[in-house]
A and B are shown apart, each in its own frame.
Chain A
Amino acid sequence: DGGITQSPKYLFRKEGQNVTLSCEQNLNHDAMYWYRQDPGQGLRLIYYSQIVNDFQKGDIAEGYSVSREKKESFPLTVTSAQKNPTAFYLCASSIRGLNQPQHFGDGTRLSIL
């Protein structure tokens, strides 16, 4: 079945540590996105990528980094510079072009040890 796979489902970070969240899709979508969701809040955009080897900062990019070396993969690294990383992280993808909805993975819940 086609879809978006995020791993791991749960992740714990120690202080000063960088961690990487995986997002893989087999939908042949060009565009991919990373969102952060905090309790009682909607989704906030961290980074997005319209094509391979290109990505743009979203609204809350500080303390995060991404890469887009392959069409299927868009990993997110939460660096030690992100002081409040505890949140639910969602990856999404879509076909580029007009009126194409984004589809989401099941998310990764990141907590601090």
Chain B
Amino acid sequence: EDKVVQSPLSLVVHEGDTVTLNCSYEVTNFRSLLWYKQEKKAPTFLFMLTSSGIEKKSGRLSSILDKKELSSILNITATQTGDSAIYLCAVENQGAQKLVFGQGTRLTINP
């Protein structure tokens, strides 16, 4: 059975800190790994990773995939209160065109 595990489940830091969120997976026929940010309602797409070792970056957020370790990390530098959200990791099973989600990491940034 396909499985995605995120850690930590909850994280509280101060504004300006750097955080690293983890995602590990067990998926048959891996196709891609996706990160989403969910504030109050709709998850919004952040990154899609398909190749190992290639960092994707958007402003203060970056992510990288390690296919050997079956994992990915999401880094956020110089955190702001607006980064407070649930961060969801999902993995796509090749051919199935459906996503398997982890439990999410609830990130709280205190001013």
Question: Are A96 and B45 in contact (CB-based, < 8 A)?
Answer: no
Candidates A40, A50, A98, A106; contact of B41 at CB < 8 Å: A106
| Interface contact A42-B88, CB-CB below 8 Å | yes
Report which of A4, A44, A48, A106 forms a contact with B101, defined as CB distance below 8 A.
A44
Chain B interface size range: 20 to 34
Q: B98 to A33, Cβ gap below 8 A?
A: yes
Instruction: Give the number of chain A interface residues (Cβ < 8 Å).
Output: 25
- In the complex, the chain B residue whose C-beta lies closest to that of A48 is B98
Which among A50, A58, A104 has the greatest number of chain B C-beta atoms within 10 A?
A104
A42–B98 touching, CB < 8 Å: no
- Residues of chain A having any CB pair with chain B under 8 Å: 4, 31, 33, 35, 40-45, 48, 50, 58, 90, 94, 96, 98-99, 101-107
Please list the residues of chain B having a beta carbon within 8 angstroms of any beta carbon in chain A.
Answer: 4, 6, 9, 31-32, 34, 36, 41-45, 48, 50, 88, 90, 97-104
